Structure 1
Amino acid sequence: MFPVEKIRADFPILQRTVNGKPLVYFDNAATSQTPQVVIDTIVDYYQNYNANIHRGVHTLSQEATDKYEQARILLQQHFNAEHAYEMIFTSGTTHSINMVASGFGSLLNKGDEVIVSALEHHSNIVPWQMLCEKTGAVLKVIPMNLDGSLQMDTYQNLLSEKTALVFCNHISNALGTINPIKEIIDKAHQVGAAVLIDGAQACPHIKPDVQALDVDFYVASAHKICGPTGVGLLYGKQEWLEKLPPYQGGGEMIETVTFEKTTYAGLPHKFEAGTPNICGGIAFGAAIAYMNNIGFDAIAKYENELLDYGTAKLLEIDGLQIYGTTNKTSVISFNVDEVHPYDIGTILDKLGVAVRTGHHCAQPIMDFYQIPGTIRASFAFYNTKEEIDILVAAVKRAVAMFV
């Protein structure tokens, strides 16, 4: 049996109340909660070895450097990258995507084609629109079906010798749809295109193997994976990272600097200008270690139980419609009759239930369904069926106030 009560004890915030009610936290797709071991890691850094890294010969600097680089190795092992230097620390998924988009600004030509999916977060749409405006490349979109899946036959037809880049999320943040990224990657490679996969929503539920996927770039954020905000990663194949120019200039990313010419450092430092979020990187490693200790297979199995239970219970409510009904992870996006999602979300908060309402930074999906937004309940491995019962009762109470 999955030890959910033991796990819940690891998360101090789950013991608090909201509006006099025990907190039921179902906004995990936006930000997961943080276990005590990660909090302790952050405190330990600032209490015992806070110093800048890679530059000092003194003890604190060396200790901080060792911890930071050990975290990079943990990430390499977790994602099964071939080299640790292929793991670039960033401020998060959005930063990682923009680094790649900026780099390709010097590699694309007018008339090249860039493909994104209809299921993308704005962070995996806007940078490519900006890139196309800058280079004259053409943006094309893989359309979606009513069940939240992608139209893969259309994707095949969009690919051509003009396709330079393909971008897709591993899991939709708005619907929970698990996309067939291996098929997307393989077909893109057949026409010589590079592929970036947005793994922000996948990494809390799935342990990606970047070598098995043969993906060119994979990006993620620590705060979705029980880590702190403000830190994330960009995995890139060595060959691609060496092709791309640096994203920004400054200290750490240089080999030599004169007023006549600057040469750049090798990987990963080429893409890590300035003082990084040292504590965040170390804590990211601690979060990955914590989740691996529980086991991603066990996490996935338990979260699927929560998804099935929550889906069945919510569908007992008259007038409730779920958006995204195909192969998915533990996210339920729904509306009830004509009640605005914001109104229901506000009542749920009064009852201690935290959900997300709105378009979830995925406005094209909402436009496709012709709705203003949804109520999104996203479950994590520290949630319980009893909490889902509280959610269902709270939704019924909220709907009764408006219908």
Structure 2
Amino acid sequence: MVWFAGMSALSPLGRSGPEIMEAALAGRSAVTCWKGYHPAPIYSKIGGDLFGFDVKEALKTEVPTLPEEMARRLKYLALRLPRQVQLSLWLALKAWQDLASRMPPPDIPPERIGVIMCGHNLNTHYIHRETKTYLEEPDFLDGLFASSSLDSIHAAAVSELLGARGPCYTVGAACASGIHALRAASRELLSGEADLVYVVGGVTESAPAELDNMVAMQAVAGEPLDGDPAAACRPFDQRRFGFVPAQGGGCLILGGERFREASYGRLVSIAVCNDAQHLPVTSQEGQERAMKQALSKAGLSMGDIAAVNAHATSTIQGDLTEINAIRALCEGAGRKPVPVYAPKSHLGHCLWSAALIETALALLQIQVGRIPGTRNLEKPAEDWISAFSTKRPQRLSGRHILKNAFGFGGYNGSMILAQENWK
């Protein structure tokens, strides 16, 4: 079995999973007008902005609390690497501290500890900034630009900080990267290749050109709704008009049976598939297939699922595709509509790390037996959606949550999470 042994999370809503979950239960939003872009994007004017988080200072304050050798490595890495990589280091470090606070340090050889980074295009804001520097004054280009611009620098830096010498790589599947990375981690554990795996979802700081292009593609909501940035992300609502990008990330530590008692819950099953196409187009058949496979692997039916933690990005077509797929599975199982919660209504869309931070929150929701209400769901896009929607926080009726993540290019992923001690 695979257990979630530790976690960390970062969002404009908070600096830990519990903080972010409490904010979601209270109905707060991470979305504001962008503050940290200089120059700012032209068309994308709103998002979840973390530029005010001084990660270098946050890492500096952790140094005195760490073992001597780990503190030395952190000081060395934080001094040399770009902000985006520093954020990944902070997430891994906080997860390491969380695990250490929950149980005695496990005696695991470094060769049995793995690191998997989820996502791609992880350094585009850094590349954008350094390219601008190069064009204006070539001699001022970062001396490590060629290596620091690689996505692989994140997993490598985290493995150096942790002293982890086991499997180390990056998994990319657009907005489904988190589920694909968790699947890879579970396979490392179940195959016996590793005893502990850190899965890191880094904070995506997109370049202005990327944000503006997604507005042009009509994928992103670039403007506030009725003057309110926090009203723009509204999954399943009639007035939705695109997803709202947000900066946020997380780290989940996966381990075997020795972590059961101190764990946040269990990864019951996980399934991924593809629609055999490259465009940003959704497929109800593909999404149903991923959910059916996850249920089949777990030996469960939709009747066993207490809630669905939906991908639900607030796009015109994407939301309808997913809710129709969920509806079809419920009808096929002869069960009443299952509560569906859309975490992006609070977080915004954290892109490649979205599934990871949302999984962390789902585990906490099972632990406390409550799910938040979906924010901004004022008038469902279809009348029948009301039966599935969660406009207000509600109690969970069971211990299994179905988590979905789907990505541009036909990437589909679903997994089932459980709390063994749920009552």
Structure-2-length-normalised TM-score: 0.25
- Looking at CA atoms only, which structure, 1 or 2, has the larger radius of gyration? 1
